[in-house]
Chains A and B, each alone.
Chain A
Amino acid sequence: MIGGVLTASSALAAPPAVLVTLITSVILLAIRAWVGTVGLTLTRREAWYLDGAIVVFVVIFFAFVVIRFANLA
């Protein structure tokens, strides 16, 4: 029932861009948290790639949110 209620909203399905960037960002952050917790050592370049990807996706997500606010408000 909870799943049905939360996904039935038409607004949730309409703009997939926000959702995709949100999920991608969360997955990347989860990877970063896992790496840090388990104690894996990343090379400087790997760390930059991971952090850079997170920053890029979060910025894109935020931009999509702002665009959505601007379009619908």
Chain B
Amino acid sequence: MPEITGATLRQLYNSVHRRRSSTLPIVALIVAAVLWLISVARANDLAMKSYGLVSILGWTFFVGLVLVVLGFTSELLRTPLRPRYLTAFLILLIVFIFGTASAIEPTGSLQQSFIHTGFIQYILVHGQALNSYDARFSWPGGFSLGALLVAFAGVPNALAFIRWFPLVIELLYLAPLLVIARASGVGRRAAWLGVALFYANNWIFQDYFSPQALNYLFFLIILAVVFANWKPKPASSTPQPRRRVPRRVADVRAWLSRFADVRAWLSRFAAVRALLSRSRSRLEGSDAQARWNSSTTLVTLGLVGAISLASAMSHQLTPYAILLDLAACLVSRRLGRPEVIVVIFLFSVGWLSLGASNYWEGHLSTIFGSIGQLGGTLSANVSKRVTGSASHRAIVDVRILLMVGLYGLGGLGALRRRPETRTLELLAVAPILLLVLQDYGGEGLLRAVLFGLPFVTLLAASAIMPDLVGHGRPLLSVLRLRGHGRTALRVVTVTVVLGLALGTVVVRGGNDTFESFTNGELHAVNFVYNHVTPGQTIGYVAPYLPFGQRDVGVVNQYIAIGVGATLKHVNASSFVKRQVAWIILTRSQASWGVNVAGYAPHWESKLKAALVKRGYKVAATWSTATVLRLAPITSSTKT
């Protein structure tokens, strides 16, 4: 009788279930994709209400999303795991969360995207950055790359890139995220779940067309290389240097150790000393061992150095986040070459000193002014954002809730898992230190959370799927559910992923009534660009229109409110006083006024009427935008 092995049984099981289990996910994928296509085809961006994108998504979108999450969970709990199907479900989840706005809204969102295309256009035309114009020009690496891509693609400007950029860059994040998850030390299922949670909880809208989105890719690649190459040496193989104790000291110690309290105290001291003696080899990188051979390691070190240099030249915050995270990897035995950290530090400070001198010359306080002012930074990052109408506050509240929930789940995961090292825990909290250094214009907290997100989500996944075997001892024992364990696991996984994904869909598109733009608004801005003459000023109420993509440094602009300001009223006299030649009023600005600034409905119509009374004429109008022009002063009206 032939021997029945585990492999034979697995083969038998697979042959029975292959047909059913291989067709179902494909059907689920196709149906979900079709539902998504139907939902984006039916959506009308002009019908958007105060809750933003979610207000124009039909039931097909939500059914499709549920199907994706159910399919992913089903694959996740299947034995054996099928990475191809899991990847396909992840890609579809990314399309649902990050591609929907791109598919529905006719232009890219956020004015910053348009400003960045303007910078790229300037470099494309002039071959260099514009000094002393904008702080972002002091880190021109990303814009130069954009100019190169525009020239390479043969398109007239970078506007063609901005609409689908969030989806493309999120898809690019997937490969390094999978590497990080796989090499992080959590179980295989927890790794896949962690990546899904990353996307399901990435409501932080930092993936718009910008250098920071590109730099986040750099950040993930560097971490992925480090995770893939270095692993902690087993604790037993780490040499423990012993210090020779002088004989007299040993005698005194022996005498003291008669007393129980002193002995306890001495043992604590010995533990601290052991820790200190270990720290040196740890800081030298000797406690980590490379998986790859020396030539591959050298090549990847060169790659990490090149990416660090690119990052130092293209973003002011990311290199420091990389530096902090690599330091965390070093102390937790996941980095074998400490030189990398020093090199990144040198590149970052070197570029700040040399390349970005236009930024800080004359006002060094912009860099060092916020060091240590954590309270002010948190105030700028959190409390000042919780304002506006009930719908806007609800969106902000959901964001805070999502973050608190995820970090809570991450904390639980830290207690439940059996790690060889606590690298993930360190990486989850290390970026918070960035807040102590820089408030980053009120976005520092968002960036810090984003830098910690890949690791917090892996910890959160460990809360749901902790390793049953491992090197360490869990701080919280595994919950036993007897026969219901698998069902409970399925329910919890679906609930968490679906809950976070729905929350993210709501809050990511929550500001789209004023952060996304219609074709009419873009036409209005282009109309003004086509008619404005050098020296004239273009005015608008708030920075929520597709402005900045042309004529950088040539035309003047006047923003009545500015970012984050809370004026009670906007009056016509502020435009008249500055002789603003062209004024653009748009639907997005009107929506911002109602939802964030708390203005009365139709405030923009009243402003338009007041401007017309003060000498402005309607130059052109679209269904979502109006252009007003200061009428030339005739001889009869001159005084």
Contacts and interface: CB of A to CB of B under 8 A. Distances in A.
Contacts of B30: none
Contact of B145 (A2, A29, A64, A72): A2
Contacts of B361: 72-73
A29 to B, nearest CB: 4
A68 B357 CA distance: 9
A51 to B, nearest CB: 10
A6 B363 CA distance: 22
A42 B161 CA distance: 52
A38 B144 contact: no
Interface in B331-356: 336-337, 339-340, 342-343, 346-347, 349-350, 352-355
Interface residues of B, number: 41
B358 interface: yes
B531 to A, nearest CB: 31
Given A9-B129, A9-B131, A18-B350, A29 B343 contact: yes
Given A18-B354, A22-B346, A39-B294, A2 B337 contact: no
A30 B297 CA distance: 13
Contact of B123 (A1, A33, A65, A69): A1
Nearest to A16: B354
Contacts of A39: 294
Interface in A21-73: 22, 25-26, 29-30, 32-34, 36-39, 54, 58, 61-62, 64-65, 68-69, 72-73
Given A6-B141, A69-B353, A72-B357, A1 B127 contact: yes
A4 B301 CA distance: 26
B145 A9 contact: no
Contact of B339 (A33, A38, A69, A73): A33
B346 A5 contact: no
Interface of B is mostly: helix
Interface in B276-290: 285, 290
Given A6-B140, A37-B301, A39-B294, A61 B357 contact: no
A5 B339 contact: no
B151 interface: yes
B343 A11 contact: no
Contacts of B342: 25, 29, 54, 58
Q: Which of A19, A32, A34 has the most CB of B within 10 A?
A: A34
A58 B343 CA distance: 10
A6 to B, nearest CB: 6
Contacts of A2: 141, 144-145, 148
Contacts of A30: 305, 339, 343
Nearest to A12: B354
Contacts of A37: 290, 294, 297-298, 301, 337
Nearest to B143: A5
B360 interface: yes
Contacts of A36: 285, 336-337, 339
Contacts of A9: 129, 131, 354-355, 357-358
Nearest to A64: B353
A19 B290 CA distance: 32
A69 B339 CA distance: 25
B213 interface: no
B211 to A, nearest CB: 13
A39 to B, nearest CB: 7
Nearest to B359: A11
Nearest to A70: B364
Contacts of B354: 9, 11-12, 15, 18-19
B294 A29 contact: no
B241 interface: no
Interface in B545-602: none
Contacts of A5: 123, 127-129, 140, 144, 147
16 contacts: A2-B148, A4-B127, A5-B128, A6-B140, A9-B354, A19-B354, A30-B339, A37-B297, A37-B301, A38-B294, A65-B352, A68-B357, A72-B357, A72-B360, A73-B362, A73-B363
Given A15-B353, A15-B354, A61-B349, 5 more contacts: A1-B151, A29-B339, A29-B346, A37-B301, A65-B352
User: Sorted from nearest, which 10 A-B pairs have the closest CB atoms?
Assistant: A73-B364, A11-B357, A29-B339, A33-B339, A2-B144, A22-B350, A65-B353, A8-B128, A5-B144, A12-B354
